[in-house]
Amino acid sequence: MWEYAPAPEAPQTARLRPSYGMFVDGEFRDGTGERLKTVNPANEEVLAEVSVAGPADVDTAVAAARRAHESVWGPMPGRERAKYLFRIARLIAERSRELAVLESLDNGKPIRESRDVDIPLASAHFFYHAGWADKLEYAGFGPAPRPLGVAGQIVPWNFPLLMAAWKLAPALAAGNTCVLKPAETTPLTALVLAEICQQAELPPGVVNVLPGEGDTGAALVTHPGIDKIAFTGSTEVGKLIQRTVAGTGKRLTLELGGKAANIIFDDAPIDQAVEGIVNGIFFNQGHVCCAGSRLLVQESVHDEVLDKLKRRLTTLRVGDPLDKNTDVGAINSAAQLARITDLAKAGEAEGAHRWSPPCALPDRGFWFPPTVFTEVSQAHRIAREEIFGPVLSVLTFRTPDEAVAKANNTPYGLSAGIWTEKGSRILWMANRLRAGVVWANTFNRFDPTSPFGGYKESGFGREGGRHGLAAYLAGADDAPRGDNR
């Protein structure tokens, strides 16, 4: 057996500082909240101290965003706004190595993913939306679409910089100003993005970044000076936010959880499908809202798929996120590890069969091995609840109708995957699956031009593409949004 020599990126590339301020009105300052420590989930060492925004800081940031919207950003011609977005995109690309290492340190994801997925896509979102900024009147939302005003944006910890880019780029392109709250466990790359806004000479107040926990997010949601809330995170908090903004006139988009079915037919190219299954659930340690966490395999190929999958999983390398050979990194926090552990225990207690490849986990940090559950029934918690970890539940089906019925048997509706040789079957299935995104013979592909969003408890509204602009333009309510039926 050949072993891989260690190939770590140097942590110094991240240019980590001992402390970070919040970003308000174009400058970094101390917040009035109690500072938080952000840790490296791979070894539990403190990376940095970060200022936390209290309610007074939310006031200041919203006021700065309002001033910037009324005095500069709103009235600015789209072609001028575009230049700033292009600049931000280029600066993200120029600082991509630093950002990738910082993201892996703060989040625990493998450097291979932050380097090849998170950071290039974040830059691509700014590039793409820079292109829209001067063409909004041709986007199909009327001859003179107007921005909404000030957007409050709350993002989770699973793709910290990428989610910030998903939120900021369309909002800015459409002429809104933003107050962004990164997740408490992963604030660092959003603060470097704030620095990039400074470098790009974005007018003060156009982008504000307020680190903090749920109460900072709640202060943003309830603030009367906010015109729109864009939230990505748990369904539970999403519901709370929806109740809070009801009747206030604030516009709202919610991108929440998922429990996607990845469906393998017996005519699928099995080796490619196995790669798709691995990418579907072990990418980013399964901390992916659209993860293919329920594998639906046609009964006739069940044994073959499972054999090949298990063989493939024994080759996954779990460990140091900064090592370029690592496939699966650390779980983002102790709390998330506890949640995954609890649900995996429930899977065993309810009678499913648990399997993991032999793999040595590091002594320190938060780790969970790639795990596959077979003999899963639809009633099991591991088949119904979002685990948000590297845990796959395997179910079987006999006919396409049964596959559709099982795939749709979930309160969520974010994504689905279909693996088959037949184009007609792909279209037949895609028409029946209640999911915002349906991948065919691939999984977890993202592109700024392609709208992303959910049905049912996965939320409503779209991010990306022309549809994503609708969320930030007045009078564009008729644009497609998730229907909650």
Lay out the site mask for ligand NAD across 244-273 (x = CB under 6 A, - = otherwise): -----------xxx----------------
Among positions 234, 248, 408, 450, the unique one binding ligand NAD when judged by CB under 6 A: 234
- When binding is defined by CB under 6 A, the residue of 117, 154, 197, 330 that contacts ligand NAD is 154
Residue choice 130, 168, 206, 221 for contact with ligand NAD (CB under 6 A):
221
Residue 289 known to be catalytic: yes
Near ligand NAD by CB under 6 A: residue from 166, 388, 443, 455: 388
Which distant-in-sequence residues (6+ apart) come within 8 Å of 5 by Cβ?
Answer: none
Q: How far is CA 158 from the centre of its chain?
A: 6
Report if residue 319 touches ligand NAD, rule: CB under 6 A: no
The radius of gyration of the chain from alpha carbons, rounded to an integer in Å, stands at 22
Q: Does 214 bind ligand NAD (CB under 6 A)?
A: yes
Q: Closest CB to ligand NAD among 51 and 420? A: 51
Task: Kindly state whether residue 464 participates in binding ligand NAD, applying the rule CB under 6 A.
Answer: no
Question: Which residues within the stretch 268-307 sit at the binding site for ligand NAD (CB under 6 A)?
Answer: 289
Q: Is residue 213 part of the contact set for ligand NAD (CB under 6 A)?
A: yes
Cα separation, 258 vs 280, whole angstroms: 12
- Minimum Å gap between C-beta 229 and ligand NAD is 9
CB of 184 to ligand NAD, least distance (A): 5
Alpha helices in 379-441 (DSSP H): 381-384, 400-408, 423-432
DSSP 8-class letter at 96: H
Structure tokens at 278: 């691995």
Helix (H, G, I), strand (E, B) or coil at 187: coil
359 is catalytic: no
To which H or E segment does residue 302 belong? Answer: helix 302-313
Q: Compute the CA torsion angle 338, 342, 343, 348 (nearest 10 deg).
A: 140
Of 233, 276, 319, 461, the residue at the interface with ligand NAD (CB under 6 A) is 233
Asked if 226 touches ligand NAD (CB under 6 A), the answer is no
Please list, in sequence order, all residues whose beta carbon lies within 8 angstroms of the beta carbon of residue 207, skipping any fewer than 6 positions away: 23, 168, 172, 177, 178, 180, 194, 197
DSSP 429-449: HHHH---SEEEES--S---TT
Q: How far is the CB of 267 from ligand NAD (least distance, A)?
A: 32
Task: Measure the CA–CA gap between 196 and 90, rounded to whole angstroms.
Answer: 10
Please state whether beta strands 177-181 and 228-232 pair in parallel, antiparallel, or not at all (unpaired): unpaired
Q: Which entry of 103, 255, 386, 463 is annotated as an active-site residue? A: 255
Which residues sit at the interface with ligand NAD, rule CB under 6 A? 154-158, 181, 183-184, 213-214, 217-218, 221, 232-234, 237, 240-241, 255-257, 289, 339, 386, 388
